[in-house]
């Protein structure tokens, strides 16, 4: 290949990262319906690594857990998750619909090193365990073994579902929530990023700011403008027995008087 020859541009694609617990299935399905010619690749990434991946352009956008450093990232908060306590199915807490922080006062509450909940001052309810599990998955195993209980966002409780475990919502002051946001590098707000933002925000195809559906060619619009409007069907004589509103009765003619 000579210096004057340029390699053909690579086809467009979209790389989406997401943290464990987030389920992007609905948004990916809409993407495939609207942009069938642009492949979308998914990658599950630990929460602490998503911002760096976006900064290094390893992904075009990503679902993150707030807070994150927004120095060179844009983020749209989407929703907050309910915090739940994961317990064994035969635990006393399983008999109630929800619990408060005070209800956990006598429980050993596990605190994994990869915990994503922002505890104010690092103070969790209940009694601390002797050691912190390395991961949430390790903490789940300890809960199943009857060692303690675990506080996590509801999506992570579902992600680590086991037949011998269940969970209940935790309410009250001091219980943090995990907030999910869509983030991307601020300087890389491309048309495809705008398209995905529109999908996540629920924009229709016509209102989307991104690629969307291409406009109809001018030639087709001109042909439609020149095409004569269809003629309306000739109406029937209102005095005839048919042609009136459906269900209407036809008046009977009386006999002429002699």
User: Over 60: is that where the pLDDT of 4 sits?
Assistant: no
* DSSP sequence for 102-162: GGGTTSEEE--TT--S--GGG--SSEEPSS--SSHHHHHHHHHTTS-EEEEEHHHHHHT--
Quickly state the pLDDT bin for 256 (edges 50, 70, 90).
very low
**Same-domain pairing of 127 and 154:** yes
Q: What pLDDT is recorded for position 174?
A: 85
Quickly state the pLDDT bin for 226 (edges 50, 70, 90).
low
Q: Which domain CATH number covers 152?
A: 3.40.190.10
Residue 128 to residue 122: CA distance in whole angstroms: 11
Q: What pLDDT is recorded for position 248?
A: 41
pLDDT tens readout for residues 143-196 = 999 999 999 999 999 999 999 999 999 998 889 999 999 999 999 899 999 999
* DSSP sequence for 167-231: EEEEESTT---EEEEEEEEGGG--HHHHHHHHHHTT--TTT-SSS-SPPPPHHHHHHHHHSPPPP
Residue 13 to residue 42: CA distance in whole angstroms: 11
- Domain with 167, as residue range(s), is 83-176
**Same-domain pairing of 66 and 133:** no
Residue 7 to residue 11: CA distance in whole angstroms: 12
Q: Does residue 3 fall inside a structural domain? A: no
Give the rounded percent of residues in the chain with a pLDDT score beyond 70.
75
pLDDT tens readout for residues 46-76 = 999 999 999 999 999 999 999 999 989 999 9
Residue 31 to residue 196: CA distance in whole angstroms: 7
Assess contact for 120 and 84: CB atoms under 8 A: no
Count of domains observed in the chain: 2
Quickly state the pLDDT bin for 213 (edges 50, 70, 90).
very low
Q: Does residue 239 fall inside a structural domain? A: no
């Amino acid at each position: 290949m000579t210096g004057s020859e340029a390699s053909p541009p690579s086809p467009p694609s979209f790389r989406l990262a997401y943290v464990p617990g987030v389920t992007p299935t609905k948004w990916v399905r809409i993407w495939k319906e609207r942009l069938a010619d642009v492949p979308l690749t998914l990658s599950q990434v630990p929460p602490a690594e998503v911002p760096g991946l976006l900064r290094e352009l390893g992904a075009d956008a990503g679902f993150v857990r707030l807070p994150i450093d927004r120095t060179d990232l844009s983020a749209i908060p989407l929703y907050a998750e309910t915090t739940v306590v994961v317990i064994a199915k035969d635990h006393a807490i399983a008999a109630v619909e929800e619990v408060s922080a005070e209800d956990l006062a006598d429980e050993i509450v596990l605190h994994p090193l990869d915990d994503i909940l922002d505890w104010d001052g690092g103070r969790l309810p209940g009694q601390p365990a002797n050691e912190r599990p390395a991961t949430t998955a390790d903490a789940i195993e300890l809960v199943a073994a009857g060692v303690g209980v675990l506080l996590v966002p509801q999506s992570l409780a579902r992600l680590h579902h086991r037949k011998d475990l269940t969970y209940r919502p935790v309410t009250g002051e001091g219980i943090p929530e995990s907030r999910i946001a869509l983030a991307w590098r601020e300087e890389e707000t491309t048309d495809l990023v705008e398209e995905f933002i529109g999908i996540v925000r629920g924009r229709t195809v016509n209102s989307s700011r991104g690629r969307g559906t291409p406009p109809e060619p001018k030639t087709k619009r001109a042909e439609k403008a020149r095409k004569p409007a269809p003629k309306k069907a000739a109406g029937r004589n209102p005095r005839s027995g048919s042609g009136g509103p459906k269900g209407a009765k036809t008046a009977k003619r009386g006999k002429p008087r002699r």
